[in-house]
Amino acid sequence: MSQPTRVIVIGSGFAGLSAATSLADKGFAVTLLEKNGMPGGRARIFRAEGFTFDMGPSWYWMPDVFETYFARFGKKPADYYNLVRLDPSYSVIFGPDDAVDLPADFAQLKQLFERMEPGSGVRLNEFLRQAAYKYEVGIHKFVWKPSRSITEFMSPKLLYDVLRLDVFQSFAGHARKFFSNPKLLQLVEFPILFLGATPQNTPAMYSLMNYAEMMMGTWYPMGGMHEIVKGMVRLAEEKGVQIRLNHMVKHIEVTDRSARRVITDKGTFDADVVVAGADYNHVEINLVAPEFRNYSDTYWKKRVMAPSSLLFYLGVNKRVPRLRHHNLFFDEDFTLHAQEIYETPRWPSRPLFYVSAPSVTDPSVAPPDCENLFILIPVAPDLNDPEETREHYFNLVMERLETYTGIPIRNHLIYKRSYAHQDFKTDYNAFRGNAYGLANTLFQTAFLKPGLKNKRVNNLFYTGQLTVPGPGVPPSLISGLVVAEEVAKDFASNHLKPNKPLASVTSQA
């Protein structure tokens, strides 16, 4: 009997775990190698002084994608974690005495819009009707395409869908057809910031994010976002994935255009297929020999990255009553902040920022009568982040946070840790210290993103937030499932030979 095909997956982020689980489910013998001592990648946790801090993602949107993920394996999210819907979904702070809570209930949300701009409640219906179509096509069709070739998008029906998706119109222009109140515009443009580009540079197609947020809701897994990772790890192990933590991959050895061995700091693993879920650029530049790279240095230099982040994890020894679970400080000019991220990358003069206070919902993440705070300031990638700079921004945002909440939070800190570019590089080998991968601009969408298959090595695949479909937890889950399908198309689970002839090698991009 032939041996099962051995797949090595590199990286235990959402994408790596998703790919590994799906491949094991298909009968491949999967080993997952992770450099850190905890799985989850950017969604790890750490504990300090009785607090449990989620290190990265905090917004749980698109619950249907998580359901689809677990359903692939005959499971549901509730088998692994307890999800609650947040109400209000979040709060937007326009100034010390000017904040708006976004209700979960749609009728109340419409009333809120109507109060802020008469007539906008009705227009919100039409805006979301179009967004629903984009969600349906975008999330149920397009993001599942491996995007290995433009021809995947060439059917008349799909081309019709593409045109109706408004891919050639900017989100900013689209939103202004419906709303003119500057605060309402900020509310509808906020989810676009997740995509790592300005509303002017983001296709209007992404109003699907508004549908996700306003109609499907903002959710939270009790215990924190890392509960999703814990569930995925359990499922992966149930399927037989061997997870090796503290295994830093150093090199992927290629013989006869096939990746044959994966060399780590702890030993060497033989492979029939390799799926790299670590940062794409790191795999290209550091793990394969230059002649096997998919893309040149020039290609990488031209990529538009989503912002990086300066983060603070704070343990506060008292409650901060004015805070909601999610709080967006839009009390400064977004145009200036966006310029300082994208056009003239530098540390921002007066940044917007975001505060998550999961202890508002979940007593398990903080000691009694304490608050667990996570502060995120979006900043340009590739900046130097010395301690003095971090401290300057800490004081700058704390002034505003303390004025808004009326509590001298700095006097009540029992834990504080900062995290920025250098930490992303050290912990995840992050290209230019990125937090959320590539920006979702028109020219970095679908088949214009770094491809999920190596063009020179027949059994080397990529997954994760730098390839299709893009950054965010739901897209990373999808990325893992999509790459697993591609591996299964090219390689039978118990064959050592490719099912298909090798793709011919063309010149480097």
* Strand ranges across the sheet with 371-379: 98-102, 90-95, 326-329, 353-356, 371-379, 308-316, 413-419
Could you say whether residue 481 binds ligand FAD (CB under 6 A)? no
Closest approach, Cβ 176 to ligand FAD, in A, equals 26
Name which of residues 197 to 256 contact ligand FAD (CB under 6 A).
248-249
Q: Do 58 and 356 contact (CB within 8 A), yes or no? A: yes
Residue type, 303: R
Question: How many residues sit close enough to ligand FAD to count as binding (CB under 6 A)?
Answer: 37
Residue 254 pairs in a beta bridge with: 259
Least Å from the CB of residue 414 to ligand FAD: 22
Peptide bond connecting 39 to the previous residue in cis, omega within 30 degrees of 0: no
Pick 178 or 194: Cβ nearer ligand FAD: 194
Interface positions, 308-347, toward ligand FAD (CB under 6 A): 309, 311
Tell me the C-alpha distance between 195 and 472, whole Å.
8
Cis ω on the peptide bond leading into residue 307 (within 30° of 0)? no
- Residue nearer to ligand FAD on the CB measure, 120 or 476: 476
Distance, CA of 443 to CA of 203 (rounded, Å): 10
Nearer to ligand FAD, 231 or 407 (CB): 231
Among 28, 53, 59, 269, binds ligand FAD (CB under 6 A): 59
Q: Exactly one of 277, 307, 315, 378 binds ligand FAD (CB under 6 A); which one?
A: 277
The DSSP element (H or E) to which 261 belongs, if any, is strand 258-264
**Least distance in Å: CB of 114 to ligand FAD?**
29
Q: Which residues 416-445 are close enough to bind ligand FAD by CB under 6 A? A: 428-429, 435-437
With b meaning 16 or more CB within 10 Å and e meaning fewer, what string describes 357-393?
bbbbebeebbeeebbbbbbbbbbbbebebeeebbeeb
Check residue 10 for interaction with ligand FAD (CB under 6 A): yes
Distance of closest approach, residue 40 Cβ to ligand FAD, in angstroms: 7
CB 301 → ligand FAD: shortest distance, Å?
A: 21
Q: Which of residues 14-43 bind ligand FAD (CB under 6 A)?
A: 14-16, 33-36, 41-43
User: Which stretches of 317-358 are assigned E, i.e. beta strand?
Assistant: 326-329, 353-356
Give the Cα separation of 180 and 437 in Å (integer): 31
Q: Does 77 bind ligand FAD (CB under 6 A)?
A: no
Ranges within 458-477 binding ligand FAD (CB under 6 A) = 464-465, 471-473, 476
Contact between residue 319 and residue 371 where contact means Cβ atoms under 8 Å apart = yes
What is the binding site for ligand FAD (CB under 6 A)?
10-16, 33-36, 41-43, 56-59, 248-249, 277-278, 282, 309, 311, 376, 428-429, 435-437, 464-465, 471-473, 476
